Amino acid sequence: MIVTTKKLFEAAYGKYAIGAYNINNLEQTMGLFKGCVDSKAPFIIQISKGARSYTHKLMLEGLIRSADQVFPDALFAVHLDHGDEESCYDCIKSGFYSSVMIDASGEDFETNIATTRRVVEAAHAKGIVVEAELGQLGGVEEHVAVSEANAKLTDPDQAKEFVTRTGVDSLACAIGTSHGAFKFTGTQGLRFDVLTEIQKRLPGFPLVMHGSSSVPQDEVARINAAGGKLQGAKGVDDTQFKRAAELGVTKINIDTDGRLVWTRVHREYFLQHPEGFDLRPVGKIFMAEYAKFIASKNEKLGSAGQLDALRAMLQVVA
């Protein structure tokens, strides 16, 4: 059942984080639903602009509606990931999305505020929740001076001003992560000092962590052993998710790790079955592996096992 992102945040704040997983196709959708129902976790389905145009924007909506029937126990929100104004308005108009992200973080502060404010007005008029981003995600090289690295991170004072002036419902903060499989070159990691300062200025306000794949080293090793070339891939330490949740992070975005599962399964399968050309056997393995991966991530996020309490809070009958 689709629920609003806001309700998920209310239930999770300070206790656990909701996994926000990107989907692009049928196999990811099936694995995602199965993994979340198996681990009894609420979740957020993220659809990026790229995913919407991969086949047709209506295809993923259709898949989600069907999965909702196949897995009647699932409780989830549907979210536009990294939208621009145009895609936000399109999703708001569609009536299918629980929330949209307007990502104007590449603009200057005032333009980011003005753009976010316009999207918030349009979304709230339809009861849709808005996430915005402040600061710049991106790999921070180890040799970069702290002052230079900090310049890219979310400024806690600006975060408070941004939230107040835009009326946004949640804020994606840059606290040291980046998108993709190559996040860190050395010992860098999550900047809990910055996160603590943001939460002090915005107590009770839902924060979002992008770029949160952990890029498991055993996964990378298996991919490379099966012909891949992912030297130096490195991600976020997912044993730190619960600490981030206690500091106000209610949504943690994970996409790359799922792509790594897909890559490992397909590389290994075709290496072991050079004669193979049927997409179903490998697709079945992927769905099962993806479900396992999602369930174990939900354990790390603390969202596993929360479904019954959430259902009671929402007074939803399964």
| 207 is a contact residue toward ligand 13P (CB under 6 A) | no
* Footprint (CB under 6 A) of ligand 13P, residues 50-89: 81-82
Looking at 8-16, 196-204, 208-216, 268-276, which segment touches ligand 13P (CB under 6 A)?
208-216
Task: Give yes or no: 81 in active site.
Answer: yes
| 117 is a contact residue toward ligand G3H (CB under 6 A) | no
Residue nearest to Zn ion (CB): 210
**What is the maximum span of the chain, computed from C-alpha positions, in angstroms?**
60
| 311 is a contact residue toward Zn ion (CB under 5 A) | no
* Footprint (CB under 6 A) of ligand 13P, residues 153-182: 179-180
| 233 is a contact residue toward ligand G3H (CB under 6 A) | no
Rounded Cα–Cα distance for residues 174 and 159 (Å): 11
Looking at 45-53, 59-67, 86-94, 253-261, which segment touches Zn ion (CB under 5 A)?
253-261
Nearer to Zn ion (CB atom), residue 99 or residue 253:
253
Q: Which does 50 bind (CB under 5 to 8 A by kind): ligand G3H, Zn ion, ligand 13P, none?
A: ligand G3H
| 22 is a contact residue toward ligand G3H (CB under 6 A) | yes
- Kindly tell me which residue out of 7, 34, 79, 210 binds Zn ion, with binding defined by CB under 5 A: 210
Point out the catalytic residue in the list 81, 103, 255, 257.
81
Contacts with ligand 13P: how many residues (CB under 6 A)? Answer: 14
Rounded Cα–Cα distance for residues 307 and 83 (Å): 28
Residues 161-173 as b or e (16 or more Cβ within 10 Å = b) = ebbeebebbbbbb
Sign of CA dihedral 150, 256, 77, 242: negative
Contacts with ligand G3H: how many residues (CB under 6 A)? Answer: 8
Nearer to ligand G3H (CB atom), residue 23 or residue 128:
23
| 105 is a contact residue toward ligand G3H (CB under 6 A) | no
Nearer to ligand 13P (CB atom), residue 199 or residue 253:
253
| 5 is a contact residue toward ligand 13P (CB under 6 A) | no
The catalytic residues are 81
Q: Rule CB under 6 A: which residues touch ligand 13P?
A: 22, 81-82, 179-180, 210-213, 253-257
Q: Rule CB under 6 A: which residues touch ligand G3H?
A: 22, 48, 50-51, 81-82, 179, 255
